Amino acid sequence: MKRLLIALVAGLAWAGSAHAQGPRIEPPPAGLPPSVPTESATPDLIVDLSRARVSITSAFQGESILMFGMFDPPGEVVVVVVGPEARETVMRKQRFLGLWLNTGRQSFDDVPAYYAIAASQPLQRLLARGAGGEILSLEDRMSTIKPVGPRAATELAQFRGGLLEVKRREGLYPAAIGQVTVQAGRLFRVDLPFPSRLPEGVYEVKAYLLREGKIVAAVSRPLPVGKVGFSAQLAGWASHEGALYGLGAIVMALFAGWLGGAIMRRL
């Protein structure tokens, strides 16, 4: 409830911003009774994103989004970005008759498509003081994914490690813990890198304010990631109207081939 209130106030504070996004937070009624705790009336933490959404257009090559905001010192800021969860299947290659081929596979449920964490101080130090529970390091988050089907613990650990490795390689689990930079003791900013092969869905960007290792404020912003324009239309048809898309692809190729042939004969 307290967090909701903070978000509410943050939303109000930033309602005038051209960048206001996410689900619009309705401003509270004009005569908000002063009975609200004073700490929320002057918000501890306010944030915004440089973009309301990540648009995958036909020119998309990955994008970097800036989260910025202000907090009431003293305190430390931690930002966590989590992509939508899904089932992922990890495959492992082994040498067989001299050739490398997939011989083992393991699925996991609740795997976030993307996971990044950034902090204004070394995260270990912040979390060691008991902020855990809600804020999870990548390794802790990975230990919560659920394996599908039984398997020996050592094997599972290998596949889990493999998943982490592939996701890191694809830039979906940025390996280094990002740096939240603080200026003038109260302004902060952090760059969130998104690679070009980015799964679609609604991502959650959450900022926490920690004091003495305890979360005193948290603001969450949804960040929709999706294809827009022509590529969105094509991908939509391909997944929902496969038959129509297939026929369209055939007609396109027939026409292009016919036209190409006609032009070629003129040359």
Residues that bind another protein (CB under 8 A): 56-61, 84-95, 98-102, 105, 109, 113, 159, 162-163, 165-167, 169, 196-197, 199, 201, 227, 230-232, 234-235, 238-239, 242-243, 245-250, 252-254, 256-265, 267
Q: How far is CA 161 from CA 142, 154, 155, 168, 197, in A?
A: 9, 11, 10, 11, 21
- Residue 230 Cβ vs another protein, minimum distance, rounded to whole Å: 8
Which residue's structure tokens are 């989260």? 67
Torsion angle, alpha carbons of 11, 17, 22, 27, to 10: 30
For another protein, which is the closer residue by CB, 203 or 208? 203
Q: Which is nearer to another protein, 58 or 124 (CB)?
A: 58
Least distance (Å) from another protein to the CB of residue 248?
7
Indicate the residue among 15 and 259 with the shorter CB distance to another protein: 259
Q: Specify the residue, 2 or 169, whose C-beta has the smaller distance to another protein.
A: 169
| Least distance to another protein, CB of residue 195, Å | 10
CA 21 to chain centre: 16
Compute the least distance from the CB of residue 58 to another protein, in Å: 5
Q: Which H/E stretch holds residue 158?
A: helix 153-169
What is the Cα–Cα distance from 205 to 54, expressed in whole angstroms? 12
- Name the token pair of 167: 């996701």
Coil, helix or strand at residue 105: strand
Q: Please say which residue, 48 or 88, places its beta carbon nearer to another protein.
A: 88
